A and B are shown apart, each in its own frame.
Chain A
């Protein structure tokens, strides 16, 4: 079992729809959770972080965390073609390592 798991996709949504990206993690002691975006041929860039259970909103992005279920998600509202990228979930585990999931490829169709 991988420490951080994501569906690889591709996830295809129409422009204007809500894209929902999910991530589960195995280290119950993990405290910090991050979402990175990686465009094709580019390096990852941080888009959101969340530390506490519940929702955190930033513009069109909402991160959700449920530590009891060991589950993190990212919602993208009003999806745009420019949101098409691979989204990487990252978890800072008890061992002090920032571990990435394999990423979910998102495709937003005009």
Chain B
């Protein structure tokens, strides 16, 4: 059974640009959550999507957005990149809502560097 797949794995952008990250969940999983991981802040919740609907959003500015498609694949977008957006972005899928089971299956992440 294939795991959670994130693309691209690594990317370098400059300030002001925008970036789109993609996540393919485990087959049959309907929930996709996104987290930002940095050494200073740890894992911070960005948003959770379930059946194409955003169920929850973390405390990030509006430059961070996402969506989920009918096949459960998800994308997140960051516009007007800032240096502080440099981080590992982790996507995690779960069979149902994350909080109902807590069992998130994480992808390997997309490491974003903003210069």
Contacts and interface: CB of A to CB of B under 8 A. Distances in A.
A and B part of one assembly: yes
B41 to A, nearest CB: 7
A33 B56 CA distance: 18
Interface residues of A, number: 22
Contact of A43 (B41, B55, B101, B109): B109
B41 A96 contact: no
Nearest to B88: A43
B4 to A, nearest CB: 8
B48 interface: yes
B58 interface: yes
Nearest to A101: B42
A98 B42 contact: no
B42 A96 contact: no
Given A43-B106, A46-B103, A99 B45 contact: yes
B32 interface: no
B84 interface: no
A32 interface: yes
Contacts of B97: 96
Interface in A32-52: 32-34, 36, 42-46, 49
B21 interface: no
B56 A95 contact: yes
A98 B97 CA distance: 10
Interface of A: 32-34, 36, 42-46, 49, 88, 90, 92, 95-103
Instruction: List the 8 closest A-B pairs by CB distance, nearest first.
Output: A102-B42, A43-B106, A92-B99, A100-B43, A34-B102, A98-B98, A49-B102, A46-B103
Given A44-B43, A98-B48, 9 more contacts: A32-B102, A36-B104, A44-B90, A46-B102, A88-B42, A97-B56, A98-B99, A98-B104, A99-B45
